Amino acid sequence: MTAELEGLKVAFLVAPEGFEQVEFTSPWQAVENAGGSPVLVSTTRGKAQAFKHLDRGDSFPVDAVVDEVTADDFDALVLPGGVANPDFLRTNSQAVSFAKSFFDRGKPVAVICHGPWTLVEAGVLSGRRITSWPSLATDIRNAGADWRDEEVVVDSDGPNTLISSRKPDDLPAFDTALVRHFATAA
C-alpha cells in the first residue's frame, strides 16, 4: 500500500442498482491501495446492486445516502459507469446536485464509461475535454464538451480536475490517473 491518498475521503456515487461492478471495484481498490478512504454513496440505504454487463453481480453496502452528505464531506468523487446507473442518477435531483457540487467546490472528479450522463445533466461539461463510452459522444458534444476517443483524458482547465475513461479495458490507466490527480488536487 502506498500513501498518496492518505487521509483523503473519496465518494463513489452509484444508483441502488445497475452500476458496472468492475468500474466500481477497480477504482475503489486503487483508492484503498493508495491509502485513501472510499465511501459508497447512493440514493437509498441498504445495499447497492452491481452488474457485470447485463448480469447481476455482487451487492455492496451503502455507507451514506446522497441527501445526507455534501461535497464538503469528501475530497474527490468517482462516478462508475454501467448504462442503468447514470441513467437513474441523472433523474435524481439530489444525485445531480451532489455531483455538480464537486465542480462548484473545485474538487477532482473521475468518471468512466456511461458515467458522464450524470455530468451532462449537472451542466458542468461545457468547455471541458472528456472521454466516455462512444455512444455518449453526441450527448457530451451537445453539452458543450470536447469528446475524445482516448484511453484516459485529464482536463485540468476548468474549476477542477476531470479524469475520464471509456471502458473497463481502460481501468489500469484510469486508476493510475485518478490516484495521481486526486493526490495532486488534495
Catalytic residues: 113
Grid coordinates of 104? 462548484
Residue 85: exposed, middle, or buried by beta-carbon count in 10 A (0-12, 13-18, 19+)? buried
* Residues contacting 170, CB < 8 A, separation 6+: 112, 151, 152
User: Whole-angstrom Cα distance, residue 28 to residue 79?
Assistant: 11
Task: Please calculate the CA angle 111-90-167 and round it to the nearest 5 degrees.
Answer: 30
User: Whole-angstrom Cα distance, residue 119 to residue 123?
Assistant: 6
Contact 67, 96 (CB under 8 A): no
Q: Which residues pair with 37 in a beta bridge?
A: 9
